[in-house]
Structure 1
Amino acid sequence: MPTLSQWQIFVRFLRFGLLAWGGPVAQIAMIRRELVDEERWISSSRFNRLLAVYQVLPGPEAHELCVHIGMLPGGRMGGFLAGLGFMLPGFLLMFALSWLYFTIDITQSALGPIFLGIQVAVIALIVRAVHRIGEHVLLDKWLWGIGIVSAFAAFLGASFWITLPAAGLVYAFALRRQHALAAVTLVAATVLAVLVGPESSTGLLESAAQGTALSNGPIAQDASLVALFFSGLKAGLLTFGGAYTVIPFLRDDAVGNGWMTDAQFLDGLALSGILPAPLIIFSTFVGYFGGGPLGAIAMTAGIFLPAFGFSLLFHERLESVVENKTLHSFLEGVSAGVVGLIAATTVELALVVIERLPSVLLGGVIFALALAVLYLWKSKVNVVLAVLGAGFLGWLSSGFLG
């Protein structure tokens, strides 16, 4: 283990943040190569155990690993500085892009069709993410069933506060062969969802209607900083199985509360996809819409707080807690429910984009090409190419899309 000052720890992980292209898999591989294989900060077996722990817990795994490993030479302050260094480049870039997005009227420039083409690519990104997450989560018929039912419940407007706990409990009971309790849980969740009623912010038709207009400014920039912070915190506590799982939760607040349209939400996802940062950095964009520059800071702080907190406060107990098999089965059920929510959100967002495309055929071509790049080109910059390429095709075909 090298002897480093707090400043050296910050600079070391700031470099990782500047090179954090290609999503969590590429980011984790970079950290492993340099800190495990080359510099021997930590053993390979220990790194594998830590990664397994953080994959079960909510939050971006690469960021949590940086916090944990930064604590080894520098204690809790070293862990905080490591996490801050890793996220800072992406935050500053997204903050600047959020300001630029507000400043430029994209409807009166070539950026309009470019962003529309990019939105098509974002749907392809989410489809690929659903497939990637699903193949690691939906491992048996119970999990498939939970995912399908959760997606159907989302279409009907059921609150995820009801759907996800029920998904976890049903699967935990099913694995213990307590099928009667699983059935009772499902019935109770259904009754509760009916009594509570559908969430107005997630209805399929309403969401499509909100996303038909392209606009730079917010719909209603009146969210309090406290509301934005807790919206981010809620999303940060529910990011099971990868950063894409945060999409339905942030969208529920952002679009449902009128901070932005679905089209603008997709633009934020697109911008985050081309930055060297964890995908959840698009929360900065959402917070900017809800409350301006301070709103961006508040939501970013909320969404990253669990990623810092789990590592800084509970690092010595995490492995023993996650060994609990009942907790494993509950979290696996929750993860299956989240896959269903993402799938439903993908369909809703796709309908928003289709509604805005004068040429559905051309949009379908851009979607297919983006999806082909994501599936066939195994590179850490394939996301960047898919997004930028779709934007170029949108601009090139502006006579059809504009």
Structure 2
Amino acid sequence: MAEILDVERNDRQSGNIVPLGEAAKVWARVAALSFGGPAGQIAVMHRIVVDEKRWIGERRFLHALNYCMLLPGPEAHQLAIYIGWLLNRTIGGLIAGALFVLPGFISILGLSYVYAAYGNVSLVAGLFFGLKAAVLAVVLHAVFRIGSRALKNNVMIAIATAAFIAIFFLHVPFPLIIVAAGIVGLLGGRVGSPLFEVGGGHKSGSGQILEDRDSILGEDTPLHARPNLPWSLRLSGSLAAAWLLPVALLLVTMGSSSVFSQVGLFFSQMAVVTFGGAYAVLAYVAQEAVQHFGWLKPGEMLDGLGMAETTPGPLISVVQFVGFMAAYRNPGSLEPMLAAALAAVLTTWVTFIPSFLWIFLGAPFVERLRGEAALTGAMSAITAAVVGVILNLAIWFGVHVLFADVHTASWGPVSIDLPVPASLIWPSLLLTALAALAIFHLKLSVIITLAICAAIGVAWTILTGSGAMAP
């Protein structure tokens, strides 16, 4: 017992709220259970860190979450970094963030290899045939879930509608829509309009609010968590260099036409505009990866999303599959699988390193954001715009999943993808309806729904040999 107390005392003297070894085991456990998108991941983190371990209290957890939701990038990943840093300084944040991503990276890399090598094999084709239909239902549920929470008044509905029209009919870039919504919300919040307020709360699994004073950390702010501008700038500068220097070297040595340069630059740009979660940014990624770069076919984007839905880790890890396939089809002088693996690593690096940068730069100053009406208004407006963007994503996916033939119709600046009615894929429609019934009515989890649809897709392919119908 004395030895344990000595270890705990040494940990506290070094700035660790809990022993670093124990924290690493807990973060590995959180990562292994982090299925079902950000809502499920945050719920798992809350149950383990707040309810079970009581390392931090409810109010501190919510305050950290609110800050992470203001940032571009995956909020669940950033929340893990934030809490890891709060409990165990910089090393704790690095461990928590790395472990949160690692299981999903390994899983998606393995699935990407299988997809590239055996994607035309009937069993694999049937698997992804079923997953596509299920993912379409999942995206539709995301529209409903986020919309019911965000569109609380006519102003929010108008922002969502404008965002949908801008991206669906006029193909306005996703970053511009987010910036415009943020400016509207910033101005609305600054003048004190109640229409731009964000409400809501979060309870523990038992329904009881846990106070910060009941946690190990308590209400005090650790010394290392207090604002220290020199530390923030030094660490942030190192992370910015680790993020951007590889991209710059690729541009200099391989040129802008190299797929590695394009992947590094594109996903670096994406890292600074990914407000609103993975579903929102997927519309932007799909638009660029499919229509602009030609890295993927429309149906393949859904295959990648199915991989991300069924593996632990942030849902935005789907971009790893995009980078993999981009290099696999444009390997240059490298062997295709080697090029694909290197591009997957590059994509993951430039996607997630910025999350560490945002947290380590801003977390010590986050208390100054508490109660800031202008920032709250900006977040509220951005969330409303995201509903319109996700609706666009759902329609885009639906057209390409349910119909074999699609053509583009244009009227001046307006252009939309229209399906050919005769090319309707009835099995996809029926499977999507089944998935929607499972999620909306039966309240089955995303993982169970995906598993059921994948199994049906495989069975359908074996019985009919028609899995190749999947676009």
The alignment's TM-score, normalised by the length of structure 1, stands at 0.81
Q: CA deviation at 1:163?
A: 2.6
Name the aligned partner's letter for residue 130 of structure 1. V
Are the counterparts in 1 of residues 185 and 378 from structure 2 also a CA contact under 8 Å? yes
The answer as to 2:296 corresponding to 1:260 is: yes
Change in Cα spacing, 1:52 to 1:151, as seen in structure 2 (3 Å) is: same
Are the counterparts in 2 of residues 230 and 299 from structure 1 also a CA contact under 8 Å? no
- 1:283 and 1:226 map into 2 onto residues whose CA distance is 15
- 1:239 and 1:314 map into 2 onto residues whose CA distance is 17
Q: Deviations over 1:226-258 (max 9, x none)?
A: 432332233333333332222112213311211
Residue 247 of structure 1: aligned partner: 282
**Alignment counterpart, residue 113 of structure 1, candidates 126, 150, 154:** 126
Secondary structure in structure 1 of the residue aligned to 2:183: helix
- Structure 2: which 5+ runs fail to align? 1-15, 194-256, 328-339, 406-422
Are the counterparts in 2 of residues 288 and 295 from structure 1 also a CA contact under 8 Å? yes
Secondary structure in structure 1 of the residue aligned to 2:403: helix
> After superposition, where does 1:181-192 map in structure 2 within 5 Å?
none
Are the counterparts in 1 of residues 164 and 392 from structure 2 also a CA contact under 8 Å? yes
Are the counterparts in 1 of residues 188 and 377 from structure 2 also a CA contact under 8 Å? no
**Alignment counterpart, residue 312 of structure 1, candidates 360, 363, 373:** 360
> After superposition, where does 1:128-147 map in structure 2 within 5 Å?
128-147=141-160
The answer as to 2:83 corresponding to 1:20 is: no
Residue 236 of structure 1: aligned partner: 271
Residue 101 of structure 1: aligned partner: 115
Q: CA deviation at 1:174?
A: 5.1
Residue 206 of structure 1: aligned partner: none
**Alignment counterpart, residue 453 of structure 2, candidates 371, 390, 398:** 390
Residue 286 of structure 1: aligned partner: 322
Q: Deviations over 1:49-86 (max 9, x none)?
A: 21222223233222222111212342112211111011
Change in Cα spacing, 1:267 to 1:49, as seen in structure 2 (3 Å) is: same
Q: CA deviation at 1:90?
A: 0.8
The answer as to 2:425 corresponding to 1:360 is: yes
Q: CA deviation at 1:31?
A: 1.9
Change in Cα spacing, 1:47 to 1:164, as seen in structure 2 (3 Å) is: closer
Residue 333 of structure 2: aligned partner: none
Name the aligned partner's letter for residue 88 of structure 1. L
Count of aligned pairs between the two proteins: 356
Q: CA deviation at 1:385?
A: 1.8
Q: CA deviation at 1:178?
A: 12
- 1:33 and 1:349 map into 2 onto residues whose CA distance is 33
Name the aligned partner's letter for residue 299 of structure 1. T
Residue 334 of structure 1: aligned partner: 382
The answer as to 2:164 corresponding to 1:151 is: yes
Write 1 or 2 for the structure with the bigger share of helix.
1
The answer as to 2:89 corresponding to 1:75 is: yes
**Alignment counterpart, residue 438 of structure 2, candidates 370, 373, 397:** 373
Change in Cα spacing, 1:322 to 1:349, as seen in structure 2 (3 Å) is: farther
Please, what is the CA RMSD of the aligned residues? 2.5
Are the counterparts in 1 of residues 189 and 378 from structure 2 also a CA contact under 8 Å? no
- Structure 1: which 5+ runs fail to align? 180-221
Identity in percent: 30
Q: CA deviation at 1:176?
A: 6.3
- 1:176 and 1:15 map into 2 onto residues whose CA distance is 42
- 1:174 and 1:311 map into 2 onto residues whose CA distance is 27
Q: CA deviation at 1:98?
A: 1.0
Secondary structure in structure 1 of the residue aligned to 2:293: coil
- 1:226 and 1:136 map into 2 onto residues whose CA distance is 39
Name the aligned partner's letter for residue 430 of structure 2. V
- 2:117 and 2:392 map into 1 onto residues whose CA distance is 32
Secondary structure in structure 1 of the residue aligned to 2:139: helix
Q: CA deviation at 1:223?
A: 4.7
Name the aligned partner's letter for residue 364 of structure 2. E
- 1:367 and 1:68 map into 2 onto residues whose CA distance is 38
Residue 31 of structure 1: aligned partner: 45
Q: CA deviation at 1:359?
A: 5.5
Are the counterparts in 2 of residues 236 and 246 from structure 1 also a CA contact under 8 Å? no
Which is further off, 87-96 or 357-366? 357-366
Q: Which has the larger radius of gyration?
A: 2
